[in-house]
A and B are shown apart, each in its own frame.
Chain A
């Protein structure tokens, strides 16, 4: 099966600019996650979708981050305006269903550098 697709792979922007990341999950996977991985740390969940509904966005900095999954398939994550501390790898993951025992399938990530 095709994996989770993310684009772009790399992005460099200046602080206060905006940026958007795109994710296409594995076909048939209803649950989609966005994680932020800062250098030297493990991935941290930003938001989880079940189909096109938000299940958990408690750790999403909503003053600057937004995410959508309008048709229950692709998703975009936006940062506006970006701060230096947003420099990180943004990972998208998907699973067939929500459940504690279901392993996540990850994309390659988008490496964001904010200067």
Chain B
């Protein structure tokens, strides 16, 4: 069965610090990979996605993620975080042949001004 692991449950950073959130998945076949974000009081929304091609994908608000197939990882990065990046971040995976999206447990990011 597919599963997604997010190793950092809570991350606290100061503004301008760099961010990297880990995401590992278990599935032997080809996958689609997503990062969703939930800002306080708002709905889950797509941050970025990887389907194929360049393993380094760029999303909204300066976020990027790198798919490393050999490591089954899809880590999220941002060179310099802002207070407005305070949110909960979810990694999600589905098999290319499937519609079923499997979410990680999420990482709560707090950015201190």
Q: Which residues of A contact B (CB under 8 A)?
A: 3-4, 31, 40-45, 48, 55-56, 91, 93, 98-104, 106-109
Tell which of B14-22, B43-51, B67-75, B79-87 binds the partner.
B43-51
- Whether B99 and A55, one on each chain, are in contact in the complex, defined by CB atoms closer than 8 angstroms, is yes
Alpha-carbon distance A9/B53, docked complex (angstroms): 40
Q: Are B43 and A100 in contact (CB under 8 A)?
A: no
- CB-based contact B46/A42 at 8 Å: no
Return the 3 tightest CB-CB contacts between A and B, nearest first.
A42-B103, A106-B44, A103-B46
**What residue in chain B is nearest A99 (Cβ atoms)?**
B99
User: Could you tell me the distance in whole angstroms from the C-beta of A93 to the nearest C-beta in chain B?
Assistant: 8
Partner-A contacts on B (CB < 8 A): 4, 9, 32, 34, 36, 42-46, 49, 51, 90, 92, 94-101, 103-106
User: In the complex the two chains form, is B100's CB within 8 Å of A101's CB?
Assistant: no
Complex Cα distance, B49 from A25, in Å, reads: 22
Given contact pairs A42-B105, A106-B43, A106-B45, A100 touches B99 in the complex (Cβ within 8 A)? yes
Main secondary structure of the interface of A (DSSP, over half): loop
A101 contacts which of B32, B90, B105 (Cβ < 8 Å)? Answer: B32
CB distance from B67 to the nearest CB of A (A): 14
Question: Which chain A residues border B32 with CB–CB below 8 Å?
Answer: 100-101
Taking a contact as CB atoms closer than 8 A, the residue among B42, B49, B90 that contacts A43 in the complex is B90
The distance in angstroms between the C-alpha atoms of A14 and B63, with both chains bound, is 42
Once A100-B32, A101-B32 are accepted as A-B contacts, the answer to whether A44 and B103 lie under 8 Å apart by CB is yes
| Residues B34 and A103 in contact, CB atoms below 8 Å apart | yes
| Chain A residues within an 8 Å CB radius of B45 | 106
